[in-house]
């Protein structure tokens, strides 16, 4: 057998070891369907064997299927609410069904796929930076999926990207969503609050988990009504006037100024907020993106990016008195995941 095929088979086995148990059950059932003719006495007892295995498969799938909720006690809460009334809503059917393939399973598959790509396949782009990080990292230390294994015992919701794509459309036109993490402390009023704005490809639980792990803050992960990560003036207005107040009401603490942090395309939220909401936030931080607009806030905007990241930087028209620059040598667009200790060392200094 040729080496590429051996490598692919080994990666498939590795993937099956990492994915959720209900996916392992599906794979085993399909394996049974493919090899059942080789079972001794199968032809004589075909109906009994087929029905028994199918019943075991259905029962096992139901028992092992993730039963994610959005309870106030969850490590990460998934909150849906009506934009017009502010009323909290139950989980729509689409996010529930996406439990079939969890976010951690997808990230593990993407990471494994990156090992199979040629080195120069997506060179010179944000995706290329992610692939480079993956190929240069021992698989079990890859932070794109390592954190999911660390959080397996915690209550976490299904991923929301499929639903996010459908927001502003049809039945979901008036529904907004955010993730919320509350630290396990006696008094939440003592905690700082971080509003996290996602980048291109949507509001992944991964980043809420990273922020939860490395800070002692309350994390409010807001999102755009599409997965492009562009926080338009309309979206920012809803976040400031509706989403943030809704979250504070759910948490049950008095309002306090939160910090706002935008990753990659989510830097658009910071460029917008520093101009249109100069007194709303306690600090303004851009990660792996550029400060392009002249801030109106009296606070300096913090800009953190990898030295090799072409999407990071500061417009030459903005005076140095308006920002703090943190340029991380040797890093690119995968900075947050590749160097969380460095990034959150800076973030924790900023928010405290």
* Cβ neighbours for 222, distance < 8 A, ≥ 6 positions apart: 178, 195, 196, 197, 198, 203, 239, 243, 244
How is residue 189 written in tokens? 């009023």
Give the model's pLDDT for residue 9: 67
Give the model's pLDDT for residue 80: 93
Give the model's pLDDT for residue 1: 47
Give the model's pLDDT for residue 12: 67
pTM for the whole thing? 0.84
What's the farthest any 2 CA atoms get from each other in the chain?
83
| Measured distance CA(58)–CA(61) in Å, rounded | 5
Pick the CATH number of 77-91+156-351 from 3.30.2450.30, 2.40.40.20, 3.40.50.1820, 3.90.180.10: 3.40.50.1820
Give how far the C-alpha of residue 279 lies from the chain's centroid of Cα atoms, to the nearest Å: 28
What parts of the chain have a pLDDT lower than 50? 1
pLDDT digits (tens, 9 = 90+) for 13-59: 666 666 667 677 888 888 888 888 888 888 888 889 989 999 998 88
Strands 77-82 and 175-181: antiparallel
In the chain, CATH 3.40.50.1820 sits at 77-91+156-351
């Amino acid at each position: 057998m040729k080496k590429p095929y051996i490598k692919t088979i080994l990666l498939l086995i590795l993937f099956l070891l990492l994915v959720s148990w209900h996916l392992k059950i599906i794979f085993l059932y399909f394996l049974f369907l493919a090899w059942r003719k080789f079972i001794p006495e199968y032809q004589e007892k075909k109906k009994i064997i087929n029905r028994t295995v199918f019943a075991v498969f259905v029962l096992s799938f139901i028992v092992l299927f993730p039963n994610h909720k959005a309870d106030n006690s969850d490590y990460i809460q998934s909150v849906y609410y009506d934009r017009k009334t502010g009323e909290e809503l139950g989980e729509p059917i689409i996010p529930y069904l996406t439990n079939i393939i969890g976010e951690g399973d997808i990230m593990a598959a993407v990471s494994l796929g990156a090992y199979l790509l040629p080195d120069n396949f997506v060179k010179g782009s944000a995706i290329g930076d992610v692939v480079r990080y993956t190929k240069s990292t021992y698989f079990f230390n890859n932070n794109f999926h390592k954190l999911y294994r660390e959080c397996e015992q915690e209550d976490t919701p299904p991923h929301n990207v499929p639903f996010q794509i459908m927001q502003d459309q049809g039945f979901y036109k008036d529904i907004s969503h955010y993730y919320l993490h509350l630290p396990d402390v006696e008094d939440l009023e003592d905690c700082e609050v971080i509003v996290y704005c996602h980048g291109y490809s949507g509001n992944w639980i991964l980043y809420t988990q990273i922020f939860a792990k490395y800070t002692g803050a309350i994390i409010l992960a807001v999102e755009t009504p599409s997965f492009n990560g562009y926080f338009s003036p309309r979206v920012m207005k809803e976040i400031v006037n509706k989403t943030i107040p809704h979250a504070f009401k759910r948490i049950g603490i008095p309002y306090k100024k939160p910090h706002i942090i935008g990753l990659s395309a989510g830097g658009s939220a910071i460029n917008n907020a520093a101009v249109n909401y100069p007194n709303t936030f306690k600090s303004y931080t851009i990660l792996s993106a550029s400060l392009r607009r002249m801030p109106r806030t009296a606070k300096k905007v913090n800009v953190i990016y990898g030295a090799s990241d072409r999407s990071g930087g500061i417009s030459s028209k903005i005076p140095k008195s308006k920002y703090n620059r943190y340029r991380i040598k040797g890093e690119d667009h995968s900075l947050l995941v590749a160097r969380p200790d460095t990034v959150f060392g800076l973030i924790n200094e900023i928010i405290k």
